[in-house]
Structure 1
Amino acid sequence: MPQTSFTPEPVPREETLEAVVSNPSFAKDALALIHGIAETKEQNEVLELFHTSRAALGADQAIFVSFVRDDESRESIRFLLAASARWCLEYEQMAWFGDDAWLMHAITDPNPICDSAISYRTNVQRNIRELARKFGVESAYIVPAPTSGGVSRIGALILTSQRAGFFECPTSRHLKPMARALSMELHEWWTRRIREDIIVDHRIDDTDLELLRLEKRGLKTKQIAAETQTSEASVNSRFQRLNAKFGQHNRKASARFATEYGLIS
């Protein structure tokens, strides 16, 4: 199920993007906010820093999306908002994220892109774009935060403006590195938060994590028992409990789940 964190409705900006990025303190201020996100563990502080970062990058609204598709039937999506809560609520109610052109770009291409360069091929994709326009999004900048190692978990920072063509100007090249840094830092923060939530909610301990790492390496029950200095029966029993906690059918799937959600690498 989607999980969302809300911030107050943003105030539209008046400056052009050129004016924003040409400010002598632009890079320094943006980097200070990004470093602040890296250093905090509190969600309220991250939301406040994200809201301030949105303003520092010249956007009227900003959304960060963390998205995992385990398989065709199981998805997890979380939002951080410096944007209209009503926009996000309507989007969630339609459960459109599986066919979202912005998310599909983030999954398939690591490069930031302006919304105007994306093709909307389905009715659902066009409806998603019209919903964004309903909430004042005339221009958008999509900034992927990919994860390496074959993990399908991705993040995407969406910066928006009420001004058509706002992000299409040549000075967007100066925005790109700061937006990328913000997207990656938010992605890492969410990954840590999700990992901590799963460990606490499912009562996962260090022994469980070691078993999952050994399973990911392809070790058999006898080998895992030798590595952990326990019995084969104990290994099998522990994996059965892990499978039940994660809602997976077998221990290979549990190891994949643990990898996707950042419990193991």
Structure 2
Amino acid sequence: MESTQSEASVLKYFDQIISAQDESDVAHCVRAIVSTLGAESYVFVSMNPAESSESRASHRFLIGCRPEWCQLYNANKWFMTDPFLDYSVSNTEPIFGSQVEVTTQGQRDMLTSAHEHGFRSGFVVPVHASDKGRIGVLYLGSDKTEAEGEKIFSVSRMYFRALAVELLDWSIRVAKLEIMESRSITGKDLQVVSYLKDGFTAEDIAREMDVSVQTIYGNYKKIKDKVGASHISEVVKFAEVNGLLV
């Protein structure tokens, strides 16, 4: 960015992401930020590596690129071997698309198609909220040459990293609410699970919550039924994996 006016515009949209009510509001803000910073296309994906599978049940996408690229990506199941996702699972350092290691023909085919659909040059921005749970990847693209595009990405590197963090926070909030609503999990349920995660016994939890031990065991049964678990320790694991205790 070159002007104070552009910076002010970007910061305004950052504020709007934090208070956005739905996905369309977020997508509008991201598009405005990305275009102001000089990129032309973007895809943000958040996922839980511990649950990743061919069904992509844990993946959430925010799309700001050509629809035909998304159709090809899904049709070829490139999400199963995507080198940018592979890199982002174990790295937090942003990297140019040209620097990501490609080892298979399928990955080379994916990159060729990406170059033809708005990602001639690219920038990969991984973001991790914690050692466990969801991670995010912001992939930015431009039809400019790699030399031209990568120069633009470098100049706005700080803003792109901040954008990735905000999008992961937003994605975690949305995913948490969806899981709680779909399983009828309450705040009280999570309070009990949080105590369990910290090593509290049923007696400890009863004392903290000022209820009987029998009530806590009743809570255990209800929470297990909601999650579909046979043991309360499985509920703790479920909550950790899905970011419900963050």
TM-score after normalising by structure 1: 0.81
Please, which of 185, 206, 219 is the counterpart of residue 238 of structure 1? 219
Other-structure match for 1:211: 192
- Counterpart of 2:118 in 1: which secondary structure? coil
Q: Does 1:49 align with 2:29?
A: yes
Are the structure 2 counterparts of residues 26 and 253 from structure 1 closer, same or farther at C-alpha, using a change threshold of 3 Å?
farther
- What do the CA deviations read for 1:95-143 (whole angstroms, capped 9, x no partner)? 4334321112222221111001111123333233233234232111111
- Residues 134-213 of structure 1 correspond to what in structure 2 (within 5 A)? 134-148=116-130, 150-165=131-146, 166-169=148-151, 172-213=153-194
Worse overlay, 101-110 or 58-67? 101-110
Indicate conservation of the 8 Å contact 1:68/1:75, yes or no: no
Other-structure match for 2:65: 83
- Counterpart of 2:63 in 1: which secondary structure? strand
Question: In structure 2, what is the Cα distance between the partners aligned to 1:89 and 1:250?
Answer: 41
Worse overlay, 151-160 or 116-125? 116-125
Indicate conservation of the 8 Å contact 2:52/2:58, yes or no: no
- Residues 113-124 of structure 1 correspond to what in structure 2 (within 5 A)? 113-124=95-106
Indicate conservation of the 8 Å contact 2:123/2:153, yes or no: no
- Counterpart of 2:73 in 1: which secondary structure? helix
Please, which of 215, 231, 238 is the counterpart of residue 250 of structure 1? 231
Worse overlay, 159-168 or 113-122? 159-168
Deviation at 1:246, TM superposition (A): 3.2
Worse overlay, 225-234 or 119-128? 225-234
RMSD of aligned residue pairs (Cα, Å): 2.4
- What do the CA deviations read for 1:172-216 (whole angstroms, capped 9, x no partner)? 432101111111111111111111222222211122011110111
In structure 1, stretches of 5+ residues that fail to align are 1-20
Are the structure 2 counterparts of residues 172 and 206 from structure 1 closer, same or farther at C-alpha, using a change threshold of 3 Å?
closer
Indicate conservation of the 8 Å contact 1:27/1:178, yes or no: no
Indicate conservation of the 8 Å contact 2:224/2:231, yes or no: yes
Deviation at 1:233, TM superposition (A): 4.9
- Count of equivalent residues: 243
Other-structure match for 2:88: 106
Deviation at 1:259, TM superposition (A): 2.8
Q: Does 1:40 align with 2:20?
A: yes
Please, which of 91, 111, 116 is the counterpart of residue 129 of structure 1? 111
- What do the CA deviations read for 1:63-85 (whole angstroms, capped 9, x no partner)? 11111123575851010111123
- What do the CA deviations read for 1:19-57 (whole angstroms, capped 9, x no partner)? xx2344332222211111012222221121122222112
More helix by share: 2
Indicate conservation of the 8 Å contact 1:62/1:159, yes or no: yes
Question: In structure 1, what is the Cα distance between the partners aligned to 2:156 and 2:95?
Answer: 12
Indicate conservation of the 8 Å contact 2:122/2:150, yes or no: no
- Counterpart of 2:68 in 1: which secondary structure? helix
- Counterpart of 1:70 in 2: which secondary structure? helix
Indicate conservation of the 8 Å contact 2:127/2:164, yes or no: yes
Report the residue type matching 2:204 in the other structure. Q
Question: In structure 2, what is the Cα distance between the partners aligned to 1:97 and 1:240?
Answer: 37
Deviation at 1:248, TM superposition (A): 4.4
Question: In structure 2, what is the Cα distance between the partners aligned to 1:79 and 1:26?
Answer: 27
Other-structure match for 1:65: 45
